[in-house]
Each structure stands twice: as C-alpha cells, then as structure tokens.
Chain A
Amino acid sequence: MSEHKIDLTINGYRHTAAVEARTSLGEFLREELGYTGTHLACEHGVCGACTVRVDGVAMRSCLMLAVQADGCEITTVEGLAAPDGTLHRVQQALKDNFGLQCGFCTPGVAITLATVLEDNPAATTSDMEAAMSGHVCRCTGYQGIRRAIRQLAGEHA
C-alpha cells in the first residue's frame, strides 16, 4: 500500500498526516483525526450523511480520497458553530423545528444547507429542498428539515 503525506486545514486547524492512497477522506477524518461528527452511512455516495465542505464545496467524504484533500480547507460539522458555541443558523433552524431525531444523517444535512446558504445567501426554499434531495433521513419524514429550510429562507425573505 502506498502512503502519501498530506497537509490540510480542518475547521481552521492545520494537520499533517501520512495516509494510505485508498483511505477515504471520511475515514481519515474519523479514524486519524477524531472528527467523528462526520458519519459514514452508505459509503457509496447516495445518502449524503458524510458530506463535508472542501474548499467551499459540499463533498461526499466517502467518495473522496484523503490524498485528494491535500492542501484543502475542510469544514466538518464540528466546525459549523461559532467558537463561543453559538450554533450556525442552519443548526439552530434544525433544532428549532425538530429537524433531527437519531442525528446520524444530520451532520451531512447541516453541511449541505450551510454550503447552499454560503454560496447564495438569498437561497430559496426550493434551492435548499433541491440540495436536500441528495440526503436520506430515515427518522423524520423530512418534516422538520423542510420547516427548517423555510425558516432559513424566511430569514432573508
């Protein structure tokens, strides 16, 4: 197995590591660095639970290799809230609206919605619902997530 040295920034902290070429970014974040907030639920790119932000883009960390993240800036769910603990508005909206139950899919949902709003602060309900189509939640029937999306869209309506 070939090993590669990578250098990347995660939630504002710089990390250097040697990784096997085949190690996925999600696995690396979880196993090597302890960012266990990123959850691996299907490991084949369908469910969206493992979504992290890589250089401003929402990526499925199960489909990206850790070596591909060399030099990248990554935000995981641990990096969404403000340093003082104030929740990101996406996190707050999910909380306000019972947008999560077991919480396993939630980190990916939060990263995707935060990224949509980052790209377009005036994102509409349908923009965010379209982005949510790449996420599977087995608990909530999407009711609270949809209410959270409306709350987020309403913030700038």
Chain B
Amino acid sequence: MNFHASSVGATRYVGERTPRKEDARLLTGRGQFTDDIQLPGMMHIAYVRSPVARGRIVSINLDVAREMPGVQAIYTQDDLAAIPVQMLSFFFTPIESPVTLLADGRVACVGDPVCMVIAESRAQAEDAAALVELEIEEETPLVTIADAKTGALVHPDRDDNIAAEMGDADMLEEAIQPLLDKAPHVVTHTIRHQRIAQSPMECRACVASPEGSGEMTVWMGCQSPHLAARYVAHALGMPQESIRVIAKDVGGGFGLKNIPWREEVAVVVAARLFGRPLKWIEDRYEALTASSHAREQEVTLTLGLDDEGKLLAGWSDYACNNGAWPMGEDSNIAVHMFMWPAYKMPAYGFVTRGWFTNTMGLGGYRGPWAMESLIRETTLDKAARKMGLDPVEVRRKNLIYLPDQPVTSTLGIEVTDITPGECLEKLVANVDIAAFRKEQAEARKEGRYLGMGIATYIEPTGSAGQMQPMTGETVHLRIEPTGKVVAMLSTHSQGHGTATTMAQVIADRLGVAYEDISVFEGDSAIGAFGPGAAGSRQGVIAGGATWKATELLADKVKAVAAHLSNASTEAVTIEDGMVHVEGAPEMSRSLKELAEIAYGEPARLPEGMASGLEAQFRYQPPPMTMTSAAHCCVVEVDAETGFVKILRWISAEDCGTVINPGVVEGQIAGGLAQAIGQVLLEEMPYDARGNPLAATFKDYLMPTISDVPDFEYLHANTPSQTIGGMRGVGEGGAIIGPPTLVNAIADALSPFGELGGEKGEVTLPLTPARILDVIEQRDVSGHQAHAEPAPAAPVETTAAPVADTSALAAAPAAISIDGDWDMTLKAPMGGQTFLAHFETDGTALAGYLSAPEGQQDFAGGTFEDGRMKFEVKVDKPMKVTLKYDLQASADTITGKCKMGMFGTAKVTAVRPA
C-alpha cells in the first residue's frame, strides 16, 4: 500500500517520531490519575484480607474496629449481597465458580478480601481494618499445580480442581506417538515459568460517586473506560449509560487492569449502598500479594525432527495455575493455537489444563499465551545443539516465508501475510554471527562465557469480531468553526500514546498541523464502545478507524470547497490547514473559513449536504492481524557468580505501517524489559501454607536501568490488510524476549552442559544460583532437593479427566431424550449455555442447538443404549465440526464434544426447570 499517494497535503506525519501529546501534562504534574480525584464528602476504603490460604470463616468480630475514629461503616459479603452481582470473565461469560466481591463463608487464598472498612481517611480505614478480628478454621491449602492434581477440592461444588481443559489426550497415541516413534530425532523440553506480579507503577484504584437516580460516575485505573463501564453495568444489571467511567491517566495496565475485578466492583456496590463517594487506593503490598497474578505454568514439549532438522510432529502437555479466583477459568488454549502458525509443523497435539489452587487468581499479563514462543524456541535450540545444527538453519528449514502463503496451521489458523522468515533474514543480515562465534571461541579460552540467542515468532494482534468484548472501534472527528480539529475516540492510553498516534494519522490524512488537533479519550462518555488496550489492537483498529474517518472528513471538506469554487473535488487539496484549488490560487481558503460556512451558512453548501464538518466511522477490521519478529541477544555469563550480563539486543519486527517509531520502539522496549525481568529477576513465590512471599519491591525484583541494555531496532514495514496497514506491537517484546534471552544463556552455558540439566527442565527465573547449577554441575540452588515430581512424560499423560463415556455404556436403555434440554459446553472462552432439542426415531438422532446468536440443526446422529453421537457444523468463531459423544440418563446428559482445533470440551445438560 502506498499511503503517500493522495491528494492531501505533502506534509507527512505517519512514520515520524512526533513528540507525544501526552507528555506536556505528565511531565509537569498535571496528569489526572484516579488518586488525584477528591470529592466533597468522599470516604476511604480499606479491605480486610484473609491471612490464611484456605478455611471456613468461623466469625468476624467488628466491635473494636467499629469504634475506631473516623469509621463510617464496615461491610461484609452479607451487606454487599443486597445488590446482586454476576462477575464475568474477560470474555463477558459468567465466572463458573461464582466469585463474590467479599469472601462468602470461606476463604480460598491469602489476600481474599473479607471485609470493607469505610472511614474518613485512608489511614483511619487501615487502622480499623487492622482491628477486625477474623476467626478462620484453617485447612491445608493447595499451592502448586502438583498439589491441585491430588488435593482436596478448592471449590467444593466442583467435580475436580481442573478449572479448564482442552486438547485431545487420545490424539497422542492415535496420531502423534507413531510419528515420534519414526522420527530420527526426538527432543523433549520442559519449562516451569514462575508466578509474576504484573506490577504497573500505579496500583489499582477506584473512586465511585453515586449521582441522581441510580447513576454513577466512576474513576478507575483500567485499560478502557468503555470496557469497564460495560463490565460494571453488565455485572450489576444496570443500563450502561447509567455508569460513566473516567480514566484520564492510568499508570500502566499490562493486562492486570483488563477488567474491573472484585475490589473495584465492590467499591461501586458499596457506593450505591452507602450513598456517598468512596475511594479505594490499593497499596503496593496489596498490589503484589492480592492483585491477580500471571504466568505460573509448566509445559513439556516433545518434537520429532528429521536429520536435517525439519519438524515431523509435536506434542505438548501444558498446565497453568489458575489460583482460587481467576479472571475467567483458563487452560490457555491460545498457547497451542499460536505455537505453530509461523512454522511448517505437519502434526501437533496437546492437552492443556488450568488448575485451581489456594493462591491469588490468574489475571492477564502482556502476551498471556507467550509460553508458546518460549517453549518452542528453546526446544528448537536444544534440538539444534543436540543435533549439531545451526539454530538459524533449523529455523530456516521450518519457518513460513511469504511465498509459502496462504497456509493453514494444523490448528486451523490461516496465515496469509506473515513475515517471520523475512524478519529472521533481516536480523541475520544485520548481525555478524560468524564474527560472534569467533569472539565466543576466543573468550572461552579466557574463561569468559558469551552466548547468542535467536528467536522468531508471530503474534495475533488487532482481534475483532471473534470474542465478545473484542470489537471494532469508532472515531468521531470534527473540524470546529475555529478551523481546529477535535477527535473523540474510544481508545485508552496507559502509556500507549494513542492521542499522539491518532493525531498523527489525522494530520497526515487531512492536511492539518499536528498542533491543531486535540484528541479526547479516556472517558466512557466520549466515543462509542471499544475495548481499549487489550490484545495489541489500538494502533491497528483505532488507527484504521481514524484513517478512514479522516478521509471521509477530507472528502467533505473537498466537496464543500469544490462547490464554493465551482471546481471539481479532484482539483482540491488541503495543506497545513489551507484548502487550495488547483489553478486558482485566489480561491484558497482556510479550514476556518470553510468551517464557518459549513456550520453557519448551510445554504451555501451543496444541495442535500449535512451542515457542519464532521465525520464518524466505525471500523471492523479483519478478525486478526499478524505481527512477526526475529530477535537476537548476546550475553556474558560470569562463571564465578552466575550473573548474566546482556551485552546486545537487536529486534527485527514487522508491525506493518509504523505511525510513530518512537511509540512502536517504546512498546517493544517495555515488553523486552518485562521479558528480562521474567527470565532473570521477578518471582512471586508461595510457601507451603500458601503465603505469598514477595510483599515489597525489595522482595519482588523489578528490572532497573542497570538490568536493561540498549535495544537496537530493525523495522520491516510490510503493510497489513487493514486500513492504514498497521499491525499490533503492544505485547510482542514480552513474548519474543524470554526465549531470545534463555537461548543466549543456554548457548553461553553449553560448554558446561545443558541448561536445565539432562532432564531438560528449565525453571525461571534463571537466578545466579540456578545458573551455577549448570556451571558447577551440582545443586547450588537447592532446586533439585526441593524439586517436584517431573510432569508425566508424553506417553504417560495423566488420564484425561473428561467423562469417559464408554464406561457408562451399560446405562439403562429405556430413556427418552426427546425434547428440550439446557446444555452447557465448557468452551475455551468460558461456559456456553444453549438450548438443545433432540428427536429420536429408533436409533436415529436429529435435532437442533439454539442460542440467541442462532440455531444449528443437525441430523444423522445415533442413539443407542443411552449413548448419543452427533455432529454439528459451525462457522463462528471459526469453521469447525463439533463432534458430540454423550451419555444420557433419566434427567442428565454428560459427555464430551470434540471441537476440532479447540480440542475436547466437557458437556452437561439438564431438563429445563
């Protein structure tokens, strides 16, 4: 796409390092963060949190706390329950294990909020909170994934501790193992990823001010005021217009603030009950120990390769710790969806499970599926080392290049324009690998251990139209009678600089000065619904919407100018706020003059044209836009201390049209710094009693300026198929960074042995002690002494906990299933409930499944001895054939549904009440 070919002015803003519009206020202390809000009569909230990980609440004694100075009220769940709330996942599906705002009779993790104290000041609220007496009958908690597999139920109303699961365990034996058996080379690798505290610099915060008849203004640290308003309205069953969420400035989100969670919603509910403005400002202790966490997961990947290093087959077993109250039960299916679309992988299967434990719940964090790149890229490097191949060559043999496309991955992801191979070539052309290998060999002679790591990946960005909240974006533009431009957007910046990039697009496409554009966002009363920052989408979707809306507005300006000048619209150009008519310099007018006419003298406009100079556009982009990258880093490992120093880091990324390189590189750099933290520093450990152990920034090691090297950037700029050609770039650094760095460290350590030992189990973070484990070939870190049992080898995969229908085949035959059932499918993005209607004729089974979105008929099924088998073809969100295998009893139906690429989901059905 040549976006320079246009009749607008010659001044280019897209692609420039334009200084950010946000900086003036943020540099001078004039930003507006939630804690900056003070309202008359506003009271302050402090939460009383559970000090034990699991147990029954015996009593809550508020007597002393209530008498403390300044205390206005203390609420428990019994009080908040006066306003019914249905908490939802990020996908706007109900949370399956009903989460209450405050603990309801039981606590399930340390930090579980139990009471809410409302007082005149934050200090008074905290004083009183410390004096609430909780008596909890403590039970043995489940802390690790291993605990969850064998321990007592975290949620007593559930069948097991599996929060969510997908994948097809049978596929290993049926399809993958035979291929692995035949493969000349088989490599197995395990990574245990520690628990991460997202740690935005601004902790969570919420101010709720009840107004009028049931309306509410809420200031909230969030990633989208629109999404937050929609969530709160939905959870409380209120009309969305009755909630206005304002978030002018937010000090970082990174996925933690994707959706409002228990504490924020509790502030809203309490403000309604209390009838006055309430403020809750989370402190860092709460932020570290009681905000949703991320990442704790373990995965084993087994790859079969031929002698040249070509992939033949792969199998992975993945598990993640959901904690007690995840922001939506999650088995992280996206890990498997995005493991191989960039590679030629002929056969891949997996089982993937999320486990409930008595720890803080799982939340979002930049690239939640990032484990796919970490396990894939580190396993490929391990294979290369084992087989004596060059890691770059192994990737070249397997990566998908542009001429290979379109191509569809084994899990049904079609790629048409990805460039991971091209990014790798660009990277390799700019890094002298041969020279490095020479330097590395020389250094080793001196006892210095250098390592180089390379990794490649693709990233799904700009998702729209496939998941409830992930929608298009609306942009409303207006040239005011002053000739200045205002843009009203549903975007939100927690550092993203959307006011800057969107103003650049407008300036570029309209032909006005950047300084003459004001962008308004960060308020649910501005713009139409958009989910803000989630899934690297704003540059792609809001960028496309702004691009198109600006062109619509430019067209109108030209039409007005052409009409006034008796010229053709093709003869009109707009340059720096002046509208020119080709060949008639005397007809040049300022935008101000045109705007005054458009608003004030509509009679002078073309017949039928609406007055004013405004445009609105809602952009629905392609469902997904892929970004590609290849990174390289060079490290030196100190063999005496085990410390890792990063010497160089080069990124070759392709995010299509770059609106502002300063902003794009800022996103990559921020993600890479977080990646360095994940690999080397950060960890939120728990002790055996379920106590989180990193309670301050002295325990939780955030990367500082001395931990992060200078990054170098290469931009590939292959335009995407969206309007404007952008691709998302928000999460990539945090996805590609960890494997790049782990590979470099493993390369540096290769003279000593394999990182993670011969068993190939790498545990993050790679602390100096864990590095010394490899260098000294002994258990310096004490890790082996405390190691959990190894996860089951692929051939001995733990029995799939899905209902084994064959075992039930002896059920009585005289059951009638005809008629309606309420059926629930435990799908990857939450439970889906719909009406199932069955009609039997002997052993023939037909019927339909009906949901508000539509009805799917099916026929050709079978019904024998209570066992029901039928297939339903669906088109959304992707084309897939659902294969049901169910067992009916008199009043329930249970079983499973094979969902193609999504693996297998549990199914239950009951007769309608």
Contacts and interface: CB of A to CB of B under 8 A. Distances in A.
Interface in A70-122: 76-78, 80-81, 87, 91, 94-96, 98, 100-107, 110
Secondary structure of the B side of the interface? loop
B791 interface: no
B706 interface: yes
A137 B201 contact: yes
A110 B38 CA distance: 25
A21 B513 CA distance: 52
A85 to B, nearest CB: 8
Contact of B35 (A40, A42, A140): A40
Contacts of A105: 201, 251
A139 B252 contact: yes
Contact of B697 (A47, A101, A132, A146): A47
27 contacts: A36-B36, A37-B30, A39-B201, A39-B251, A43-B284, A46-B696, A49-B201, A78-B29, A91-B27, A100-B26, A101-B494, A102-B250, A102-B251, A102-B252, A103-B249, A103-B251, A104-B33, A107-B29, A110-B27, A133-B705, A135-B705, A137-B201, A138-B199, A140-B666, A141-B673, A143-B708, A144-B669
Interface string A129-151: 10011011111111111100000
B670 interface: yes
A91 to B, nearest CB: 4
A41 interface: yes
Contacts of B732: none
A98 B662 contact: yes
A39 B26 CA distance: 11
Contacts of B251: 39, 41, 102-105
B19 interface: yes
B696 A101 contact: no
B673 A77 contact: no
B213 interface: no
B631 interface: no
Nearest to A46: B697
Given A136-B201, A140-B669, A146 B710 contact: yes
A41 B288 CA distance: 12
Residue among A39, A106, A107, A138 with the highest chain B CB neighbour number at 10 A? A138
Contacts of B35: 30, 36, 40
Contacts of B377: none
Given A41-B203, A101-B670, A78 B27 contact: no
Interface in B651-706: 662-663, 665-666, 669-674, 696-698, 702-706
Contacts, number: 175
Given A105-B201, A138-B252, A141-B669, A100 B284 contact: no
A24 B584 CA distance: 67
A44 interface: yes
Nearest to B677: A138
A48 to B, nearest CB: 10
B204 interface: no
Contact of A42 (B284, B666, B672): B284
A20 B124 CA distance: 12
B765 to A, nearest CB: 17
Contact of A77 (B28, B495, B666, B671): B28
A38 B31 CA distance: 10
B33 A41 contact: no
Interface of A: 1, 20, 22-23, 30-31, 34-44, 46-47, 49, 76-78, 80-81, 87, 91, 94-96, 98, 100-107, 110, 129, 132-133, 135-146
Given A46-B698, A139-B252, 9 more contacts: A38-B29, A81-B27, A94-B23, A101-B495, A102-B252, A102-B495, A104-B252, A110-B27, A141-B708
Interface in B214-240: none
A102 B666 contact: no
Contact of A39 (B33, B703, B708): B33
A49 B713 CA distance: 29
Given A39-B251, A105-B201, A91 B702 contact: no
Interface in B127-144: none
Given A46-B697, A141-B672, A141-B711, A37 B28 contact: yes
Residue among A44, A47, A139 with the highest chain B CB neighbour number at 10 A? A139
Contact of B665 (A41, A80, A143): A143
Contact of B27 (A35, A103, A129, A141): A103
Contacts of A80: 28
Given A40-B35, A41-B284, A44-B284, A142 B252 contact: no
Contacts of A101: 252, 494-497, 666, 670
B202 A39 contact: yes
List of 4 A-B pairs having minimum Cβ-Cβ separation, nearest first: A37-B29, A104-B251, A103-B26, A101-B495
Contact of B28 (A39, A41, A78, A144): A78
Residue among B27, B254, B673 with the highest chain A CB neighbour number at 10 A? B27
B123 interface: yes
Contacts of B665: 98, 143
Given A30-B35, A102-B202, A77 B20 contact: no
Interface in B14-73: 17, 19-20, 22-31, 33, 35-36, 38, 69
A16 to B, nearest CB: 20
Secondary structure of the A side of the interface? loop
B283 interface: yes
B25 to A, nearest CB: 8
A99 B704 CA distance: 14
A87 B711 contact: no
B662 A138 contact: no
B200 interface: yes
Contacts of A138: 199-201, 252, 254, 670, 673-674, 702
A31 to B, nearest CB: 8
B203 A145 contact: no
Nearest to B26: A103
Given A98-B663, A107-B29, A142 B696 contact: no
A49 B697 CA distance: 13
A95 B666 contact: no
B254 A35 contact: no
Contacts of A142: 669, 673, 704-705, 708
Contacts of B669: 140-144
A44 B20 CA distance: 31
A95 B27 contact: yes
Contacts of A143: 665-666, 669, 708, 710-711
A145 B201 contact: no
A129 B705 contact: yes
A87 B199 CA distance: 30
Contacts of B674: 138
Interface in B763-786: none
Nearest to A47: B697
B548 to A, nearest CB: 27
A100 to B, nearest CB: 6
Contacts of A135: 704-705
A30 B25 CA distance: 16
A139 B666 contact: yes
Nearest to B281: A40
Contacts of A37: 28-31
B201 A95 contact: no
Interface string B103-131: 00000000000000000000100000000
A42 B697 CA distance: 7
A87 B708 contact: no
A81 B124 CA distance: 36
B201 A47 contact: yes
Contacts of B495: 100-103, 139
